[in-house]
Structure 1
Amino acid sequence: MADEENTYTSFKGYQRVASGDLSSMLLETKEHIETSGEESLLIFEDTTGRQVEFDFRGTADEVLERHGAAKPRVGPGRPKLGVTAREVTLLPRQWDWLEQQPKGISATLRKLVDEARKQEPNRERARRLRDAAGKFMWAMAGNLPDFEEASRALYANDFSSLQAKISDWPTDIREHITRLLDQCAELQEAAGE
């Protein structure tokens, strides 16, 4: 499986509204809000299961720009990267090495992190996806029948039992969990589990 790009899925109740990369999800969700007038949605980052919030005020272009999903400008200047500033503590020799890198400290650190993520073992990536499915289940299906049994099956990696427990759940909820677990099973298979 290639290095995954973050994807997002929005839900209105048990119904999936949009799913895809950030730009696609934002545009489809914005369109849903405008046509339905309904703004109380839950949006999940698929690779973590974390709920995220977006500001849908203004035009579609303004929404994309606000959340760093707009197409980069052509011409001089840097496009917004969506960077988050945080403190990093390193030894003097590490700072010296970073300062000598031709593309600068931040670019070098980003490159090192991206390379490390690509080398991340499939087992760890599979665990993260399983945990993302668990977070999603807690948020969206905690009151559905057989939730506790389904949750136990998830964390026991008993996906066939889990599928049986969620077979009567709303279609979009079930399909979202299944999509995450299919990716998880692919990674587990690649890791030889």
Structure 2
Amino acid sequence: MYYSPDELCAAFVGSELIATGAFAEVVHEVKRHHDAHPNDLILIFDHKNSRPIEVDLRGSMEEVFERLEKQKKPLEPKVKVKKPGRPKLGVVSKEVTLLPKHWEWLAQQRGGASVTLRRLVGEAMKAADPLAAQRSAQQSTYRLMTAVAGDLPNYEDAIRALFAAEKDDFFNIIADWPEGLRHHIVQISEVAFDPSLASETQESESK
């Protein structure tokens, strides 16, 4: 498993949030907690998809990070580049054939041809399935809640409200849940209740 030290994630013991932030920072706090409370079951999840992240906490703090360093995600993909410069954010360079008038129009757009093309493709993908981002956010929130909140009061009612996109009911239902968990759920569930927010995220990632 590869990881990025800047990837946002959160760590829980039961339904209690013990650390959140960049992966490297969270692992540091998780290791400290593990050393002080070795019998606690600690679960780490990434923010984007609420997928579990496994970390070997054996040994010293230095040993933990030495092992993680070997699993560090490459900063850029290994791709063949035909022109100077390398694509960022995992973008792969491939040939695109357009008429001169198309290239002229793209060159006049804010950010240039590449940014504009990514934005247009993103908008087309969203138009093809406008609720895809919402479903993804619902599933991410559901995975997190199932893993750490299954024993909390009104859990099933909260799940129903989540998939019905009933925002007010959902947050009223979880109002008495542990504060850290509640705040984390607010963060990861935004698009589940407002799909329009997904376009803002896509735009920021395309720049």
What interval of TM-score do these two structures reach, taking the shorter chain for normalisation? 0.5 to 0.7
Change over 3 Å in CA distance of 1:130–1:59 after alignment to 2? same
Q: Does 1:12 align with 2:5?
A: no
2:26 corresponds to which letter in structure 1? M
Q: Are 2:7 and 2:23, in contact at CA under 8 Å, matched by a contact in 1?
A: yes
Aligned length: 166
Per the alignment, residue 81 of structure 1 pairs with 74
Distance 1:131 1:59 in 2: 36
Larger radius of gyration: 2
Distance 2:134 2:186 in 1: 14
| Identical counterparts, % of pairs | 26
167, 181, 193: which one aligns with 2:189: 181
Distance 1:147 1:38 in 2: 26
Distance 1:129 1:63 in 2: 31
1:67 corresponds to which letter in structure 2? L
103, 107, 111: which one aligns with 2:91: 111
Q: TM-score, normalized by length of structure 2?
A: 0.62
Deviates more, 1:138-147 or 1:19-28: 138-147
Unaligned runs of 5+ in 2: 1-5, 94-114, 201-207
Q: TM-score, normalized by length of structure 1?
A: 0.66
Per the alignment, residue 64 of structure 1 pairs with 65
SS of residue paired to 1:110 = coil
Distance 2:159 2:15 in 1: 18
1:177 corresponds to which letter in structure 2? I
Q: Are 1:159 and 1:181, in contact at CA under 8 Å, matched by a contact in 2?
A: no
Q: Does 1:133 align with 2:141?
A: yes
Distance 2:43 2:88 in 1: 35
Q: Does 1:153 align with 2:161?
A: yes
Change over 3 Å in CA distance of 1:59–1:82 after alignment to 2? farther
RMSD: 3.9
Distance 1:61 1:28 in 2: 13
Unaligned runs of 5+ in 1: 71-78, 86-97
Distance 1:146 1:129 in 2: 20
